[in-house]
Amino acid sequence: MAMLKGRRVVLGVTGSIAAYKSAHLVRELVKAGADVRVVMTPGAQEFISPLTLGTLSGHPVSSELTEDRAAGTWTDHVELGLWGDVVLVAPATAHTISGMAEGRGDSLLLTVLLSAKCPVIVAPAMDRDMFSHPATQSNLQRLRDRGVHVIEPDEGELASGLQGKGRLAEPERIRTELSDWFVQRSPLLGYHGLMTVGPTHEPIDAVRFIGNRSSGRQGLAIALELAKRGMTLDLIAGPIHLNFDHPAIRRVNVETALDMEAASLSAIKEHLPDVIIGTAAVADVRPSAPLSGKASKKDLPSSIELTQNPDVLLGMTSLVPSACLKVGFALADDDGLEAALRKKDTKGCDMIVLNSLADKGAGFGHTTNQVRFVYGPDRIDSFELKTKEAVASDLADVIQSRLSQRPPLT
Ligand SMILES: Cc1cc2nc3c(=O)[nH]c(=O)nc-3n(C[C@H](O)[C@H](O)[C@H](O)COP(=O)(O)O)c2cc1C
């Protein structure tokens, strides 16, 4: 069940007699380490109280689109849809299944499902004749065609007294299928990555520093995409202001290039990576003699002597065997191709992800990026402007296809 540890599960509970089993299901998922947020349809509340599911999940249960009419507040269905690694609807009524098939948005749960970027799983529960009805079967087929995974109901005695197929799968089976499904979707399971992200800050005194505009957003998107595919990662992060947490990512916060170098090298000694990705914008130089405390304006020197920082990426690539895939990043203010090719060779990288400030919407401070994957003078893949998440997915595809050709190094 390790696959469920730290997974974010949005659990949709609908108005089926089997809704009572969702209490057991929440417990199973929480016990397996999942972070569960429950969304109930108003119909589901006829069968089980939000208090029960809220207590068991450890989070308030959402049910209505508007939270407080008088205050004009509303439940952020988009945020919930984006939060989950999966939306699991269990039990799923014929009514909600038909709403999903049609793309209706007349309950909070349906709007969450319409907003969700993550995969969706449904576990139908209903009377035998409702389940076998051509309308229900064709709705389920429409969902399958859209990539929704259906956990087949059990056969047996139904609440109506009839015998047949329609009984909600037992919570243990739902949990196991969910876990197996995560395994199937984790092609990088067993592989380990080491990444640097963000800028470094090189102190001039206790409050001032030399740094750069790197936000760490692209690096973080890559780390999350690889973790989503099952990879574990050591993430050595310079000072960035992006909050995230993922159970597969061990984050070490550092400030300076020297700290980043020390943390990266010690991470390699602890766990040999299958891939190294140097996205950090490491400061090339640091003040040779930082002042202690906060220097007053009149004590600030008119010039600052600088010392070259170590090459963090080169330090990492020279410590690992050739089977470890090494990915460098380069930011240019012109075409940058020649410099990227040089960087690839001098830093011992297999490829460079090149972006240029000359391209509108690329580089620091944007949510988008336009990159080229540079493998050699005659092998360059150019991409159009995309979100940083989409760039992360393109890079993860390349990493996945390379790593899948060999077993993990450790
Ligand atoms: C006692 C009782 C049990 C019900 N059980 C089910 C059921 O197991 N499956 C189902 O599809 N509908 C069932 N229904 C009907 C749904 O509650 C009804 O279609 C409702 O509109 C579902 O809304 P929802 O999908 O938004 O929760 C039941 C209704 C009642 C009164």
Atom of ligand 1 nearest to the CA of 95: 25
Where in the chain are the domains?
A: 2-184, 192-403
Ligand 1 interacting residues, C-beta cut-off 6 A: 14-18, 41, 43-44, 93-96, 107, 125-126, 130
User: Tens of pLDDT along 333-361?
Assistant: 888 999 999 999 999 999 999 998 877 87
Ligand 1 centroid – CA 118 distance (Å): 26
User: Tens of pLDDT along 9-37?
Assistant: 999 999 999 999 999 999 999 999 999 99
Nearest to residue 167, comparing CAs of 122, 121, 128, 134?
128
Give 310's contacts (C-beta < 8 A, 6+ positions apart).
257, 258, 261
Mean pLDDT confidence for 259-272: 98
Residue 212 designated active-site: yes
- Residue scoring higher pLDDT (365 or 171): 171
Mean pLDDT confidence for 214-227: 94
Q: Report percent pLDDT > 90 for the chain.
A: 81
Ligand 1 centroid – CA 400 distance (Å): 43
Atom of ligand 1 nearest to the CA of 93: 11
pLDDT beyond 90 at 78: no
Q: What whole-number distance in Å separates Cα of residue 328 and Cα of residue 336?
A: 14
Atom of ligand 1 nearest to the CA of 168: 8
Cα 373 from chain centre? 22
Query: For position 1, what pLDDT does the model report?
Result: 56
Q: Whose CA is nearest to atom 22 of ligand 1?
A: 15
Ligand 1 centroid – CA 182 distance (Å): 29
Assign a CATH topology to domain 192-403.
Rossmann fold (3.40.50)
Residue 109 has which token pair? 């749960």
pLDDT beyond 90 at 365: no
Q: What whole-number distance in Å separates Cα of residue 256 and Cα of residue 259?
A: 5
Computed on alpha carbons and rounded to an integer, the radius of gyration of the chain in Å comes to: 26
Pocket test for ligand 1, best of 95, 127, 154 (most atoms within 8 A of CB): 95
Ligand 1 centroid – CA 368 distance (Å): 44
pTM given for the model? 0.74
Q: Report percent pLDDT > 70 for the chain.
A: 98
User: Tens of pLDDT along 304-330?
Assistant: 999 999 999 999 999 999 999 999 999
Mean pLDDT confidence for 401-408: 95
Same CATH fold assignment for domains 2-184 and 192-403:
yes
Residue 136 has which token pair? 């229900």
Look up the CATH architecture of domain 2-184: 3-Layer(aba) Sandwich (3.40)
Q: Whose CA is nearest to atom 2 of ligand 1?
A: 17
Atom of ligand 1 nearest to the CA of 44: 27
pLDDT beyond 60 at 253: yes
Query: For position 361, what pLDDT does the model report?
Result: 76
Ligand 1 centroid – CA 142 distance (Å): 21
Ligand 1 centroid – CA 298 distance (Å): 76
Query: What is the residue-wise DSSP string for 225-285?
Result: HHHHTT-EEEEEE-S-------TTEEEEE--SHHHHHHHHHHHHHHS--SEEEE--B--SE
Q: Whose CA is nearest to atom 19 of ligand 1?
A: 95
Mean pLDDT confidence for 257-266: 98
Q: Whose CA is nearest to atom 28 of ligand 1?
A: 16
Rounded to 10°, the helix 171-184/21-31 angle is 40
Nearest to residue 14, comparing CAs of 128, 103, 98, 140?
98
Pick the catalytic residue from 212, 253, 355, 369: 212
Give 298's contacts (C-beta < 8 A, 6+ positions apart).
none
